[in-house]
Structure 1
Amino acid sequence: MKEPTLTAHVLQSFEFTDRDREIAQSFGNLGKRDRREIRVRHKASEDRILRLPPEAAIMLRPTLGHLAEDGRAAGLAEPARERGTPLRDHAR
């Protein structure tokens, strides 16, 4: 049986500005019950807020910590697949 594979694409590497780094450091340790949200500010409309699912928040915790400590990070994306399709079926 063929092992499942994951194809990923590097989206972009990035780092915080000095000001953003100071703000991130002031958060301290985030707990499991702390919510993580993304705010999108559109020029011509209201701000929109998207609440991240717990799995995404857990994944982002070390990335945000690394960025707050003067590091860089890179994002990866998996190609879209039909919802519910196991990875091994998608890799064929």
Structure 2
Amino acid sequence: MTVLITVVVVLVVLVLITLAMAVRIVRQYERGVLFRFGRLIGTGEPGLRFLAREATAAATARPAPKPVSAFDLGKPAGVAAPDEVAEAKRFA
């Protein structure tokens, strides 16, 4: 009887450890990237994520920063006054 209780306790502890390893917190400025055997299998949005089906020994979750993209919009456009529009039509 004590052997059965010991086995049950060990199994419960293993399940709790596995569930604790499956919880990930992804910060707001990051995105979670999930790999299995080094191959990309998915991404996770910011927040508290539970990776139960991916929680295997072969799966790893890593944070990846969200890139901030900035690009040049070119020369700022001027405001066309009504007399400039009329002048442009006259010469066209």
TM-score (norm 1): 0.25
Higher RCO (C-alpha 8 Å, min separation 6): 1
Larger radius of gyration between Structure 1 and Structure 2: 2
Higher strand share: 2
Q: TM-score, normalised on structure 2? A: 0.25
